[in-house]
Amino acid sequence: MSTMAEPLTGIRACLFDVYGTLFDVHAPVSSRLIRVGDPAVERALSDTWRRKQLEYTWLRTVMGEHVDFWTITGQALDYAMASVGLNDKVLRAKLMEAYLALPPFPDTRPVIEALSAAGMPLGILSNGTPVMLSAVLATAGLTGHFSQVLSVESVGAFKPAREVYALGPEALGMAPHEIAFVSSNGWDIAGAAHFGYSAVWINRGDLPADGLPGAPKAVLGGLSQLPALLGKA
């Protein structure tokens, strides 16, 4: 569901979430890298991997027991594989390696290139480690479009902690409302909007809004409408 209205005004920069927003986190499994012979098992593996990955970030932040996102991604994969009865070290290694080279969604490159060409400062604000972010952006050939690549590792907590969202205004030298924060994750959008960003939800799955504080300025079905929303079409 898209609720895009008039273009947002006063936006001076744009920050993007990475996983699930610019890059397809389900690609390592949906591309049939694994061969278990059962699409239902493959989907369960991918869905559980992603769900546990996010749950572990939230729980570790609340517990005050931080480890980096690469470690969490591996721990979540271990749980997901066990949940579907898979015990294969070679497969695990391949899936982890694939996470460093996730494919961008079809609308990612055209939108990033259009905004960059229009002079909009672009940045990344992600749970990913600097190494993970460098790898996935380089593989997609998008590194040069982002002036800031901000990782939660500098504060030792994961989104939606406020200290994570504070990295953007500090790095860009702008007020939060002057920055469009773009994410496909509803909980991330709630956190960013509550912090003060002009949040734009890329609601690829046409999901209902979470019952959390913080509402987006706009809801789009994909990235392709973003340049027009930011007045850069």
Instruction: Tell me the C-alpha distance between 87 and 30, whole Å.
Output: 19
Q: How far is CA 167 from CA 48, 55, 80, 227, in A?
A: 29, 22, 31, 24
Under 8 Å between Cβ of 131 and 70: yes
Q: How far is CA 137 from CA 45, 99, 123, in A?
A: 25, 12, 12
- For the sheet with 122-126, list strands across it: 148-151, 122-126, 13-16, 179-183, 198-202, 218-220
Residue 137 has phi, psi (to 5 degrees) of: -70, -40
Contacts of 103 (CB under 8 A, 6+ apart): 23, 24, 27, 140
Residue 210 among the catalytic residues: no
Q: What is the largest CA-CA distance in the chain?
A: 52
Instruction: Tell me the C-alpha distance between 82 and 80, whole Å.
Output: 5
Catalytic residue of the set 17, 24, 68, 188: 17
Dihedral of the CA atoms 116, 190, 168, 63 (nearest 10)? -140
Q: Which residues are catalytic?
A: 17
